[in-house]
């Protein structure tokens, strides 16, 4: 699959970035995208024709690297034809050229694999420990070592609300070690923001008074 151009990937330009393993809820209401999703649903599960690509449409441009997704389930169909679906992102791709012969956006894409490299255990350990700290601070859940060892950079990033610029940079990196190092910086910044927000909430609750109990 990697490195093989495919001429039948429909495209969904959106104001979001999806990374592999991320669940993406979508509300489909435009006729062309309803047609696109119906075409995907008509294909067998696991078939290449069931996939579509999410590409970030930023204020400046349509990004050339996106992520292929497959519809996991249809959550709702409304009486007026709209749909709520849950898609699962899986494989990064590069858009090579646009197609204009379909009733919805599509393009020729190249699926992207990672470079072969020796695993950086320190980078993985640092990112996972920071991810554990963030999850515990945000949810009071303590992740176990076994669960953490199964998580790569994408799986951790998929559960945190990073900005589009940061997620796009992660998506475009072809080195897991580089993704882990970038994720470490993003997690450090997220923890700092969370701690700042918690301090602000504590000050607001104190009503300007120092409390000792």
State whether CATH 2.30.130.40 applies to domain 5-111. Answer: yes
Give residue 163's pLDDT.
95
> Confidence class of residue 49 from pLDDT cuts 50, 70 and 90?
confident
Tell me the whole-structure pTM to 2 decimals: 0.89
**Residue 46: is its pLDDT beyond 50?**
yes
Q: What's the rounded mean pLDDT across residues 83-93?
A: 97
Give residue 117's pLDDT.
97
Q: What's the rounded mean pLDDT across residues 4-27?
A: 91
- Strands (DSSP E) contained in 49-155 are 51-56, 65-77, 83-99, 106-111
* Contact assessment for residue 127 and residue 187, using Cβ atoms and an 8 Å cutoff: yes
In this prediction, what percent of the chain has a pLDDT beyond 90? Answer: 84
Q: What letter would DSSP give residue 87? A: E
Q: Which residues of 180-195 are buried (b: 16+ CB within 10 A; e: fewer)?
A: bbbbbebbeebbeeee
Give residue 209's pLDDT.
47
> Confidence class of residue 208 from pLDDT cuts 50, 70 and 90?
very low
| Alpha-carbon separation of residue 139 from 13, 143, 194 (angstroms) | 32, 11, 12
**Residue 1: is its pLDDT beyond 60?**
no
Q: What's the rounded mean pLDDT across residues 80-88?
A: 96
The residue ranges of every structural domain in the chain are 5-111, 121-206
Mean pLDDT, rounded, of the chain: 91
Give residue 212's pLDDT.
35
Q: Determine how β-strand 5-14 pairs with β-strand 23-28.
A: unpaired
């Amino acid at each position: 699959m990697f490195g093989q151009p495919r001429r039948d990937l429909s495209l969904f330009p959106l104001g979001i970035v999806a990374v592999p393993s991320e669940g993406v809820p979508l509300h489909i209401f435009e006729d062309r995208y309803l047609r696109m999703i119906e075409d995907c649903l008509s294909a067998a599960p696991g078939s290449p024709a069931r996939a579509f690509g999410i590409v970030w449409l930023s204020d400046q441009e349509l990004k050339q690297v996106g992520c292929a997704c497959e519809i996991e389930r249809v959550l709702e169909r409304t009486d007026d034809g709209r749909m709520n679906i849950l898609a699962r992102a899986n494989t990064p791709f590069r858009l090579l050229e646009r197609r204009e012969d379909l009733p919805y956006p599509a393009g020729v894409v190249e699926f992207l694999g990672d470079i072969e490299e020796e695993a950086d255990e320190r980078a993985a350990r640092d990112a996972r420990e920071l991810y554990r700290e963030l999850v515990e601070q945000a949810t009071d859940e303590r992740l176990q070592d076994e669960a953490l060892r199964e998580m790569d950079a994408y799986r951790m990033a998929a559960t945190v609300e990073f900005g589009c610029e940061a997620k796009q940079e992660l998506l475009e990196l072809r080195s897991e070690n580089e993704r882990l190092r970038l994720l470490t910086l993003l997690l450090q910044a997220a923890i700092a923001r969370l701690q700042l927000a918690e301090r602000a909430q504590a000050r607001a609750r104190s009503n300007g008074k120092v409390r000792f109990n």
